[in-house]
Amino acid sequence: MNNVNDIEATEDFIGDQLAWLLQHKSNSGLVWNQLATLVGVKSSTLSVFAGGNYQGDRAKIARNIYRYRQMLFPAQWDPKLGIHVT
């Protein structure tokens, strides 16, 4: 498992976490309130982030999403990226 604090939260990283979150919400049937609890942020914060309008620390939210993803899926080493990926 990667230490999420060691990952540079680039716009690509943030966008990838957002895309995954939206797909996961659709596939799982979870509502924002449930996802927010799992991700560790307020429901209103997560829904605004998902809508692309969040003006706060987007990197922090993305890292929380990534942390949640790591709990769901076993990580595999990606030699090209030099990190474990889910």
pLDDT beyond 70 at 2: no
Q: What is the pLDDT of residues 24-55, one digit of tens each?
A: 999 999 999 999 999 999 999 999 999 999 99
Q: Is 59 left (phi over 0), alpha (psi -120 to 50) or beta?
A: alpha
Give the ranges where 29-85 is alpha helix by DSSP (H): 32-39, 43-50, 58-72
Q: Which residues neighbour 42 within 8 Å (Cβ) at sequence distance 6 or greater? A: 36
The reported pTM is 0.80
Which domains does the chain show, CATH number per domain?
4-85 (1.10.260.40)
Token pair for 32: 């924002």
DSSP H or E run through 24:
helix 11-28
Helix (H, G, I), strand (E, B) or coil at 78: strand
Band of pLDDT at residue 18, cut at 50, 70 and 90: very high
Q: What is the pLDDT of residues 70-81, one digit of tens each?
A: 888 766 666 666
pLDDT beyond 60 at 15: yes
